[in-house]
Structure 1
Amino acid sequence: MVLSGCAIIVRGQPRGGPPPERQINLSNIRTGALARRAPQSQPDQKDTPDEPYAFQAREFLRKMLIGKEVCFTVEVKTALGREYGMVYLGRDTTGENIAESLVNEGLATVRREGIRGNNPDQARLCDLEDQAKASKKGMWTEGGGTNTVRDLKYIIENPRNFVDSMHQKPVNAVIEHVRDGSVVRALLLPDYYLVTVMLSGVKCPTFKREADGTESPEPFAAEAKFFTESRLLQRDVQIILESCPNQVILGTVLHPNGNITELLLKEGFARCVDWSMAVYTQGAEKLRAGEKSAKERKVRIWKDYVAPTANMDQKDRQFVAKVMQVVNADAVVVKLNSGEYKTIHLSSIRPPRIEGENKDKDKRFRPIYDIPYMFEAREFMRKKIIGKKVNVTVDYIRAATSSSETSTIPAFAERTCATVTIGGINIAEALVSKGFATVIRYRQDDDQRSSHYDELLAAEARAIKNGKGLHSKKEVPIHRVADISGETQKAKQFLPFLQRAGRSEAVVEYVFSGSRLKLYMPKETCLITFLLAGIECPRGSRNMPGGMQVAEPFSDEAMAFTKELVLQREVEVEVESMDKAGNFIGWLHIEGVNLSVALVENALSKVHFTAERSSYYKTLVSGEEASRLRKDKVSPQFAPCFCLLAFWERTANYRAVYVTEITDTMHFYTQDMETGLCVGGLENLMETMRAEIAAQPPVEGSYAARRGDYCIANFSADGEWYRARVEKVQSPAKVHVFYIDYGNREIVPSTRLAVIPPAFSIRTLAAQATEYTFAYIQVPQDEDARADVVDSLVRDIQNTQCLLNVEHSGVTCPHVTLQFADSKDDVGLSLVKEGMVMVDVRKEKHLQKMRSWSFLSHVLSQLNIWRYGDFRDDDADEFGYKLKK
């Protein structure tokens, strides 16, 4: 830095941080004093202007020296520590003498009172001064140089108008001071405005002033300041003045070598600031890209950064899925390629809501027609994406929140928040731009936000400017929708009209079961319950006066089929009649497909006798016949032995497994011999992984455990490393882990955990431990009795090879039968014979008889009717008679 025409600040090369500074004053010469502003704490004092040619001398040195290497010699050091000497341009004293150059240009005078005649350097200065006087250079020109005094302007009366007058065009400037990495003091040229400029869109670590007047730097504050100083201080730059909120001037400093704002972000010296990024004229996406690069490299302020989706596999972060339902204006249900259904929330947006409502009341389940613009938002999404393939990019996982004791609002479950696009269009951005949603504002340090957050803010700004949707000053649209579901009298009034209308347009709002739906009739603006005519579909579970009615077989499959085909789709309905509960009965068509016929053709319902008088009867019967011939599903057509059909389809497909763990609840974990141990997959992976860990041991305490993370854990029993999943972080000393390849659990300190090497993740080899429970036997409720059974199982089957067959699915895990590998005796049957457990009496119709499977298998083997396709009508009575006998 050049302090004046005769004083400079130098510093060496940085080594591990900003280098120390040193002020050098030029010996034997004097230049004019620069202007100085009066202290604001002393209003009686006045500002001191420039002395003639003071600024020109400073500029001469600035342009010559800033950023250059110099060599200096110290001749005198005062008692106060000030150093006087000679400065040479370059690495040695053979370079240009700076003092001589100033005197030669007439920008400095020689201190002749201290001249010694025998000093050739001082004598040369005197000669140069005489030559400058003779040539009338600089201050020796006629007139005294009054025209060289600047009219410095320290205060701008109306900074907002001043910034607006610049029209966001680059202004030439010199950076006079760097307060911190993102705040500078600049001299605007040619009008000499001295202004403080804060860089738009970013914020660097700062220096906090304590109560005693000392400054304490935030981490990397000094480094960020040095980064900016070493590139901008007293450099010629251009500044784009972009905005002036609250008397603070925001701008972008452009240097010929680059944009300092983007460089600070890329090197991890700054973070993006939402409130000022909107005015950044060079493109907010560049700032986000710079910050993202620093986060990925974990440099400087991001050294401890963990991305919201860091623990997710790539296939879980980005995938293509089919939209099955629009739950709300910010949530959809999608179907993955695996067939699994998943709820996705749109990142960083908030759906319409009624302002001013009591937050302690649960308003989330109000009808969408009652909330302004909620229906429009839902309809926009429904028409845009329902039933279509979309691209999903997960931005973050919002953790579950528990409700307070005083609040009636239930807890929110864990949410997967993502950016959903179709045909390159961001659905969230489209919603916001139409005024059907607003953008969530976050704390500055909250990184759980949309990856396209700036585009969302820009879309919201456009919607506000154009007065769209929620931002409109027009009257709020009102939707008066009559819900006549179950209203018998109202339904009777509507029935003749709907019958005369023939085919009416409708939207399927909800699917209760395979044949029972709730429809929205847009022309009639009403909601009705609609039952499919001509078929009898399996009934799902429901509450009855006598208790819960158990679901019939294939009721879930039928409902899933109907949902996938028609939920939230535009359909056509033909109303034929109405039942006594006020539900309409008729036919539903979607894109030329009769839903009743489709269910029958897919063996998910049977033809009802009432279809005989319908024009669709022949189509229904031919569809049912085709499904019977295919035998792809069990159809209720095969009554009266419907409750036994599922058993007749039972196939024994035993496979070899290795039992690794048995829990206190009689669940057990196994490894599949075909995919795991028998081919050496798991053993080879464990050996390779432990060898790599031994070669490069993890740093103790370097791993920060998070619930759901996959890691490696040092098992206390043998001191070996195994793959594990973090189930709970109670404290650094108590981390609950589950060993994914063996099924056992343990509480370990975080110092015995480490990051799982990528080569040994579950993508390389899936978790080998699979959870099962015994089919058809009851788990003893008494703890002691259950402990005896567990001890017996541990003794008989743990760490041994068995044969396993899956009998049916369960709530938490499959229910199976297990056989000893050598004797082929059933493990569960052995427990029953020993009196340790009792047979589980299943309530499901298709499982009630299976508890006697050992007896029934003998009867069926005699009848030779394992496949229901071999079952003949005249066999029914014979089978029933023998079974009863």
Structure 2
Amino acid sequence: MSFPSSGKVIVKNVISGDTVVLRGRPVQGPPPEKIFSFANLVVPRIGSQREPEKEEPFGFEAREYLRRLLVGKEVNFKVEYTTNSQRDFGHLIIPVAINGETNVSRLLIKEGLAKAKPVDGRRAPTDEQIELLALEETARTAQIGLWSGTEVTRSVEYNPPEDARRFLEQYKGKPIDAIIEQVRDGSTFRVCLLLSDTQHQLITLQLSGVKAPIYRKDVPGVPDLLEPYSEEARYFVESRLLNRDVKIQLEGLSSQNTFIGTVQFPMGNISEALVAEGLAKVVDWTITMVTGGPQKLRAAEQKAKERKVRLWKDYVAKTPVKSTAGSETSFDAIVTRILTADTVQVENVATHAERKISLASVRPPKLKDAKEQYFAVEAKEFLRSRLIGKQVHINIDYIKPAEGEFDERHCATIRSGNTNIAEALITKGLAFVMRHRKDDDNRASAYDQLLLAEEKALAAGKGVHAIKVAEERAANGGPVKELPTYREPINASESAAKAKQFFASLQRAGRVAGVVENIASGSRYRIFVPSQNIKITLVLGGLRAPRAGGRPGETAEPFGNEGLELAMKKLFQRDVQFQVESQDKVGGFIGSLFLTTGSGAQAKTENVASLILEQGFARVHEYSAQQSPFGRELIEAEQKAKDARRGLWSLEKNWAQEVPEETAAATVTESRDLVVSEILGRGTLYVQVLNNEIQRLEKLMNDLATYQSRAPASASAGYTPKSGELCIAKSAADQGWYRARIRRINPDRSLHVFYIDYGNTEDLPFSNVRPLVAPFGIQDLKPQAQEARLAYLRVAELGEDWGHEARDFLTEVVQGRTVHAKILGNVASAVGSGTALNVVLYERSDSKISINEDLVYEGLATVSKDIVKKYHRDRAAGSKNEVLDSLLDAQDKAKRSRVNMWRYGDFTEDDEL
């Protein structure tokens, strides 16, 4: 597009005190430009990178005068003549007069910043030349500028600082006055730093945290490259920054020693403006350098994506994370195993489903790399010491699909309390942050925080980053600190002879700290001892655990797998203490193992052998128990399992002395087998009586499932659920359809439903509820869930102390199981206005010890004070109640053992009976 010889234009930038670049109006693309010089002026020159020596006094001052006066302003121009080299000369007129003058040439001379061009004696001077000479004489007489008698010349360094790193350290983080001299592309500039009035430094600056499209045009010997939107990005920046006063904040150096920083201009931060308009993208490799953090840049980019503007015109939002199994993407879980330095196994708190979870955007040190091996082991230990057995929150950030021999990986942010575990690992220098492709949105949700943590760890030379620091020092001939190396633990149980070398020291040490690394059965453990860097096999003295099924074709003994499962759940990868008492003949150490749970005043230490015995997953080995200092404790633990008929003792027929039937049979109205379907607080249960109606319920559930699978989508059209009415509901837990009653409509418009055949409740959306139709109504089959309460007992509500523990105990013992009940009539309902069955529960009809008694013995319930008062009155009158006798005896034992609610003594001592 041709440029006119006169008219209104915008001054793009000022090259020198007598030359400017004019810009026309943009029409379907970048506007046309013209280099324009002032006629009839002689202006002091400014130097250049090629000819710095040509800098003349007042050359920079003249250029600055024009820059502040003209850049970005609209002016009138007129070309007076054009030289053979096609250079245009003329004059500029500003719209608003300064000291009565609008002609820029005259203003320069009046300020003493230019001279009038000498008159050529061969032709008569023009009127303008005569006026300029008169103005020059006035400035000379006033002794201003060039005529002041002083020579002010700035010192300019055109080349990069010789020691760029030192220069950065000197000025990093300090706002520096500067002038943008050139815009190479939207995020790369040539900048003049005004270090003082007379000392200037030119540098190349890249914006931190962002990258604009490449603009490369007319570079000698290099092909042009104009990426999409590069011209628009360059124009966007030029129109706001070129030749403008800005503040530069240096923040870093690239690998090529190019300075990286932020540019603040009167309207704000140019990086944020570029990104918000879709003219640049946020980049990871410099995002950690951004002063104040990356949040504003990320937010600006997200808005540009949502608007689909320019670089994001084809943007497609990241689809929600969904695995092939359709698992939850945000949930609480218990960490059950540390698999590697970046992968753990967890158990969902709500569903109890187990999953492998990898830390998102994290690469651990390589175990096979000799230099990194030590830090790889430390990283895994870091995760173990902080996570094993702890509850964490999991947020799945992305799922890496299965590829080749590698399975699908669920990559997540794991938080323990307020701590991002990946960030903590990286802060210690025990992992690296993955560098994702710039178009890869599959990354950790807190990716920027991970980058910042790595930057700090690298700067401090922490952990694995010490390797790089050592290599750099060695390359520079400096002192090198010796790096830690991994030492393979000694197998102290390799043979009997090897074990003998360590036996005496371990025995003298008493209780020794260790970590359980493997478990073969309920009585055999592999333990790492950090203090001696050894591994031992510890066999628990005093008991014999059934063999667990391990190798293919190996059959487990009864309750062997259950014992192993309990040990794995309680002890695998946990910190423990052990004490050695003797040796076996193959290198194993025989002794005792202790697990401490809780901390401070709540700390509790358990003898693992007793724990296994109490659950009935092992028997006391009589000879070995006699050698153990804990022999009596082991025998008592076994007796508890016998009394409760747990585990191995449920298989025995004649292990206990026969107890006569209770004589208070008159109080029993009925004995029935029940299935416990739901457990609430306060000793309240929902049960199903085993009779013909249960078989009808199974058929009804099958028919209901078939009916719903065939029902058209319009079957519930127009249905409006109402509080109190019966319905059929699709459970969110298993997606099955069940009969239910709507108890209430929640404020969030979900429905709180009660499943009338099972006793459990659930909050569901309206879409999960359908009208109850024949033949599924209660007239065809009455509700099968009946409320029941444990007779004679006072059990805490769920929000009270020991309420949850009591429910957990009952859940483990009776949930979903068939039990035998002695029904002692009815009592008031705990959840409604009706009545509940008053029951004493037994595991089987021939059981001598009730589940009610077990709950009291565990210190999780007390015998009701009203019942105790009546018991003493009846006993004084000669009546007997052997069930109550057993309950009160169990309560006395629980008090003496200081178990659970009795741990701080008898809190009922002051009660009046």
* TM-score interval for Structure 1 and Structure 2 normalised by the shorter chain: 0.5 to 0.7
Q: Give me the whole-angstrom Cα distance separating, in 2, the residues matched to 1:767 and 1:563.
A: 42
2:455 equivalent among 431, 452, 458: 458
1:185-228: CA deviation from partner (whole Å, max 9, x where unpaired): 12333334433222344332212569986523223322322232
Matches within 5 A, 1:606-617: 614-617=631-634
Displacement of 1:233 after TM fit? 0.7
1:555-580: CA deviation from partner (whole Å, max 9, x where unpaired): 65544432232222222335566666
Per the alignment, residue 235 of structure 2 pairs with 226
* Contact persistence 1:398–1:414 (CA under 8 A): yes
SS of equivalent residue, structure 1 residue 227? helix
1:31-62: CA deviation from partner (whole Å, max 9, x where unpaired): 638547587xxxxxx67836776654443332
* Contact persistence 2:42–2:117 (CA under 8 A): no
Per the alignment, residue 698 of structure 2 pairs with 654
1:703-753: CA deviation from partner (whole Å, max 9, x where unpaired): xxxxxxxxxxxxxxxxxxxxxxxxxxxxxxxxxxxxx999xxxxxxxxxxx
Displacement of 1:508 after TM fit? 1.1
Per the alignment, residue 835 of structure 1 pairs with none
Per the alignment, residue 192 of structure 2 pairs with 187
**2:414 aligned partner, one-letter code:** V
- Shift in alpha-carbon separation, 1:297–1:322, aligned structure 2, 3 A: farther
Displacement of 1:130 after TM fit? 3.3
Per the alignment, residue 134 of structure 1 pairs with 138
**2:845 aligned partner, one-letter code:** D
Q: Give me the whole-angstrom Cα distance separating, in 2, the residues matched to 1:399 and 1:211.
A: 47
1:589 equivalent among 586, 589, 594: 594
Q: Structure 2: state its 5+ residue gaps.
A: 1-11, 121-125, 471-480, 597-604, 655-674, 677-689, 719-733, 737-749, 751-762, 769-773, 782-841, 849-913
Q: Confirm or deny that 1:23 pairs with 2:71.
A: no
**1:198 aligned partner, one-letter code:** Q
Displacement of 1:158 after TM fit? 1.7
Per the alignment, residue 224 of structure 2 pairs with 215
Q: Confirm or deny that 1:638 pairs with 2:651.
A: yes
* Contact persistence 2:335–2:346 (CA under 8 A): yes
- Shift in alpha-carbon separation, 1:626–1:271, aligned structure 2, 3 A: farther
Matches within 5 A, 1:115-134: 127=131, 130-131=134-135, 133-134=137-138
Per the alignment, residue 406 of structure 2 pairs with 412
* Contact persistence 1:237–1:256 (CA under 8 A): yes
Per the alignment, residue 844 of structure 2 pairs with 869
* Contact persistence 1:433–1:463 (CA under 8 A): no
**1:387 aligned partner, one-letter code:** G
Per the alignment, residue 877 of structure 2 pairs with none
SS of equivalent residue, structure 2 residue 569? helix
Q: Give me the whole-angstrom Cα distance separating, in 2, the residues matched to 1:479 and 1:571.
A: 22
Displacement of 1:677 after TM fit? 7.7
* Contact persistence 2:428–2:462 (CA under 8 A): no
Matches within 5 A, 1:849-864: none
Q: Structure 1: state its 5+ residue gaps.
A: 40-45, 115-121, 359-369, 403-410, 642-647, 660-669, 686-739, 743-758, 769-800, 804-820, 822-866, 874-885
- Shift in alpha-carbon separation, 1:618–1:9, aligned structure 2, 3 A: same
**1:506 aligned partner, one-letter code:** G
Per the alignment, residue 176 of structure 2 pairs with 171
1:346-378: CA deviation from partner (whole Å, max 9, x where unpaired): 3444444467679xxxxxxxxxxx943444444
Q: Give me the whole-angstrom Cα distance separating, in 2, the residues matched to 1:419 and 1:488.
A: 46
- Shift in alpha-carbon separation, 1:99–1:143, aligned structure 2, 3 A: closer
Q: Give me the whole-angstrom Cα distance separating, in 2, the residues matched to 1:142 and 1:504.
A: 88
**1:181 aligned partner, one-letter code:** G
Q: Give me the whole-angstrom Cα distance separating, in 1, the residues matched to 2:565 and 2:205.
A: 61
**1:231 aligned partner, one-letter code:** R
1:572 equivalent among 572, 577, 586: 577
SS of equivalent residue, structure 1 residue 194? strand
**1:342 aligned partner, one-letter code:** R
Q: Give me the whole-angstrom Cα distance separating, in 1, the residues matched to 2:215 and 2:156.
A: 28
Q: Confirm or deny that 1:506 pairs with 2:517.
A: no
Per the alignment, residue 372 of structure 1 pairs with 374
SS of equivalent residue, structure 1 residue 155? coil
* Contact persistence 1:657–1:671 (CA under 8 A): yes
* Contact persistence 1:201–1:274 (CA under 8 A): yes
Q: Confirm or deny that 1:249 pairs with 2:249.
A: no
* Contact persistence 2:96–2:102 (CA under 8 A): no
**1:593 aligned partner, one-letter code:** E
Displacement of 1:182 after TM fit? 1.5
Per the alignment, residue 62 of structure 1 pairs with 67
- Shift in alpha-carbon separation, 1:174–1:501, aligned structure 2, 3 A: closer
**1:870 aligned partner, one-letter code:** S
Per the alignment, residue 807 of structure 2 pairs with none
Q: Give me the whole-angstrom Cα distance separating, in 1, the residues matched to 2:408 and 2:155.
A: 63
1:732-776: CA deviation from partner (whole Å, max 9, x where unpaired): xxxxxxxx999xxxxxxxxxxxxxxxx9xxx997999xxxxxxxx
* Contact persistence 1:504–1:574 (CA under 8 A): yes
Q: Confirm or deny that 1:340 pairs with 2:342.
A: no
- Shift in alpha-carbon separation, 1:248–1:478, aligned structure 2, 3 A: closer
* Contact persistence 1:181–1:221 (CA under 8 A): yes
* Contact persistence 1:434–1:469 (CA under 8 A): no
1:572-612: CA deviation from partner (whole Å, max 9, x where unpaired): 33556666665555543312223344345456567777788
TM-score by length of 1: 0.59
**1:415 aligned partner, one-letter code:** R
Per the alignment, residue 383 of structure 2 pairs with 381
Per the alignment, residue 773 of structure 1 pairs with none
1:811-851: CA deviation from partner (whole Å, max 9, x where unpaired): xxxxxxxxxx9xxxxxxxxxxxxxxxxxxxxxxxxxxxxxx
Q: Give me the whole-angstrom Cα distance separating, in 2, the residues matched to 1:576 and 1:535.
A: 14
Per the alignment, residue 549 of structure 1 pairs with 554
**2:607 aligned partner, one-letter code:** N
**1:869 aligned partner, one-letter code:** R
Q: Name which one, 1 or 2, has greater alpha-carbon Rg.
A: 2
SS of equivalent residue, structure 1 residue 324? strand
Per the alignment, residue 199 of structure 1 pairs with 207
Displacement of 1:236 after TM fit? 0.9
SS of equivalent residue, structure 2 residue 178? strand
Displacement of 1:138 after TM fit? 9.7
TM-score by length of 2: 0.58
* Contact persistence 2:365–2:464 (CA under 8 A): no
**2:636 aligned partner, one-letter code:** T
SS of equivalent residue, structure 1 residue 335? strand
1:212-252: CA deviation from partner (whole Å, max 9, x where unpaired): 86523223322322232222111012324455553433343
Matches within 5 A, 1:734-753: none
Q: Give me the whole-angstrom Cα distance separating, in 1, the residues matched to 2:590 and 2:96.
A: 97
Per the alignment, residue 474 of structure 1 pairs with 482
* Contact persistence 1:309–1:395 (CA under 8 A): no
- Shift in alpha-carbon separation, 1:459–1:619, aligned structure 2, 3 A: farther
Q: Give me the whole-angstrom Cα distance separating, in 2, the residues matched to 1:640 and 1:302.
A: 76
Matches within 5 A, 1:725-736: none
Displacement of 1:329 after TM fit? 3.0
- Shift in alpha-carbon separation, 1:349–1:521, aligned structure 2, 3 A: same
SS of equivalent residue, structure 2 residue 356? strand
* Contact persistence 1:2–1:58 (CA under 8 A): no
Displacement of 1:264 after TM fit? 3.5
The root-mean-square deviation of aligned C-alpha atoms, in Å, is 5.7
- Shift in alpha-carbon separation, 1:491–1:305, aligned structure 2, 3 A: farther
Q: Percent identity?
A: 33
Q: Give me the whole-angstrom Cα distance separating, in 2, the residues matched to 1:105 and 1:148.
A: 15
Per the alignment, residue 337 of structure 2 pairs with 325
* Contact persistence 1:185–1:197 (CA under 8 A): yes
Displacement of 1:151 after TM fit? 5.8
**1:422 aligned partner, one-letter code:** S
